[in-house]
Amino acid sequence: MVVRTVKWLAPVLAAAVAAGGFAVARATSRADAGPAAKGRPTARNVIFINGDGMAAAHREAARLFYAGFDGRLTMDSLPVSGQLTTSPRDPATAVTDSAAGASAWATGQRTYNGAISVDVAGRPLPTLGAQAKAAGKATGLVTTAQVTDASPAAFFANSTDRAAQDDIARQYLDVSRPDVILGGGEDWWLPAGRPGAYPDQPAADPEEGSRGTKGDLIARARANGYQYVSTAAQLTAARRGKLLGLFANEEMFQQHPEGQGDVYDPPVSLATMTRTALATLSTERNGFLLFVEEEAVDEFAHNNNGRRTLQAMGELEKAVTVARDYAAAHPDTLLIVTGDHETGGLAVEDTATTDESGDGVSAEDGPFPIRGSTLRFNLDWTTESHTGQSVPITASGPLADRFTGQHPNTYVHEVLAPVLTR
């Protein structure tokens, strides 16, 4: 049996928690309490948070590690909970990818894997991001992936192939026009051979480098009135208004197997980007849609990398806390936290059990400490791929009660469309 050790992880993440103001919810606040009631405000704002690849075991592992037996994560303290099924409409597989999963949210239709908000015949579908913008709402996206990656793209673009990230960036500028775009993926905004703030072929990943085919989209964004920022200091100094921030060549982390260059140290945290986006979007009197994503949960789970998956879950939790605090102060805000699919076939196991998955890539990770206890747990992986598990969804604010029970992932669109398109 191979069990990977993580002796250094607890103090590292404990320090990060202390420094970052990590908040673990142990009680539900009055502002978050219960389903919609008579006289309660209608939803004007929507904050939709995606823990890419996150399902029940990821949330439980993070709860044990960060909050302990008697604690609750902020994402799990939201007063309404349910489940979403995740299957796509793909002739080759019953298990979704992020493109089809997010397209179901954004359009209300299932589609094939790799599709960005097009139907199974490749025809473009209306997206919630573009529709919210047309209805006079502010819109924004925040992610630790490329800003043009599958999940945010599904809300703001149409493509038969998720790999066409340069054209997705072009659509952001020419078609859907999100007010705030923050994350990684500078490579797709610049033509090959024209590095920007982040150099081509960096030592951490020599395969990265500018690769766009649509010209200098950063220059076009500036011409369209966007401020462009590429560092934490520039983001802090940015004035209110349309904002494009690209903080890495590709993803804002290095998703390698454990001990082989795996790094989660974004130049700007997901929580900071979320806070900045909310400050900008909240100036729109007609309300807003903000999509927030922690991509690293999925990417590190693909590598069966337990220590980094937990670290990414911690950063996601900080962003959820920022959103929860905003929603508590703005009761016309619907806050939703879910995942597009499960990654890794993950289980939380006792340290005394035998590793049934063997000594290969799916060997157990651990042991990890349970906060406030002398007990520990292992993370047991069964695959490096996605699975067909349903995923938890938690919510607060107006219309949150609609998410009680189990629903298909297309149901998200059913609930949000009347809010965002009127």
As a whole-number percent, the residues of the chain with pLDDT over 90 amount to: 86
Residue 40 or residue 14, greater confidence: 40
Query: Has residue 40 got a pLDDT over 70?
Result: no
Mean pLDDT of 119-135: 98
- Per-residue pLDDT, 192: 94
Structure tokens at 23: 């908040």
- Residue 210: active-site member: no
Domains of the chain: 3-21+40-344+352-381+390-421 (3.40.720.10)
pLDDT confidence of 363, banded at 50, 70, 90?
A: confident
Query: Which has more confidence, 23 or 327?
Result: 327
Determine the pLDDT at residue 26: 39
Least confident interval from 27-41, 109-123, 129-143, 206-220: 27-41
Task: Give the span between the Cα atoms of 38 and 52, in whole angstroms.
Answer: 34
Question: Do the beta carbons of residue 111 and residue 100 sit within 8 Å?
Answer: yes
Do you know the residue count of the chain? 422
pLDDT for residue 241 is more than 80 = yes
Separation in Å, CA 157 to CA 106, 170, 289: 10, 9, 15
pLDDT of residue 352: 83
407 is in an annotated binding site: no
Half-sphere exposure at residue 28, Cβ-oriented, CA atoms within 13 angstroms? 16
Confidence label for 37 from pLDDT (cuts 50, 70 and 90): very low
The secondary structure of the chain, three-state, reads: CCEECCCCHHHHHHHHHHHHCCCCCCCCCHHHCCCCCCCCCCCCEEEEEEECCCCHHHHHHHHHHHCCCCCCCHHHHCCEEEEEECCCCECCECCCCHHHHHHHHHHCCCCCCCCECECCCCCECCCHHHHHHHCCCEEEEEEEEECCCHHHHHHHCCECCCCCHHHHHHHHHHHHCCCEEEEECHHHHCECCCCCCCCCCCCCCCCCCCCECCCCHHHHHHHCCCEEECCHHHHHHCCCCCEEEECCCCCCCECCCCCCCCECCCCCCHHHHHHHHHHHHCCCCCCEEEEEEECHHHHHHHCCCHHHHHHHHHHHHHHHHHHHHHHHHCCCEEEEEECCCEECCCEEEECCCCCCCCCCCCCEEEEEECCCCCCEEEEECCCCCEECCCEEEEEECCCHHHHCEEEECCHHHHHHHHHHHC
pLDDT(19) > 90: no
Q: Is 302 annotated as a binding residue?
A: yes
295 labelled binding-site residue: no
Q: Is 330 annotated as a binding residue?
A: no
350 is known to lie in a ligand binding site: no
Provide the 10 A C-beta neighbour count for residue 194.
15
* Burial (CB count <10 Å: 0-12, 13-18, 19+), residue 390: buried
Catalytic residue among 87, 98, 176, 396: 98
Q: Quote the percentage of the chain above a pLDDT of 70.
A: 88
Residue 97 annotated in ligand binding: no
Q: Is 340 annotated as a binding residue?
A: yes
Tell me the pLDDT tens digit for each residue of 270-315: 999 999 999 999 999 999 999 999 999 999 999 999 999 999 999 9
Residue 365 marked as a ligand binder: no
Specify the range with the lowest mean pLDDT, choosing from 9-18, 115-124, 379-388.
9-18
Q: What is the mean pLDDT of the chain?
A: 91
Pairing of strands 333-338, 391-396: antiparallel
Is the pLDDT score of 257 beyond 90? no
Rounded CA-CA distance 354/15 in Å is 32
Write down the pTM of the prediction: 0.92
Quick: pLDDT tens for 182-191.
999 999 999 9
The pLDDT of 135-148, averaged and rounded, is 98
Q: Is the pLDDT assigned to residue 7 strictly greater than 70?
A: no
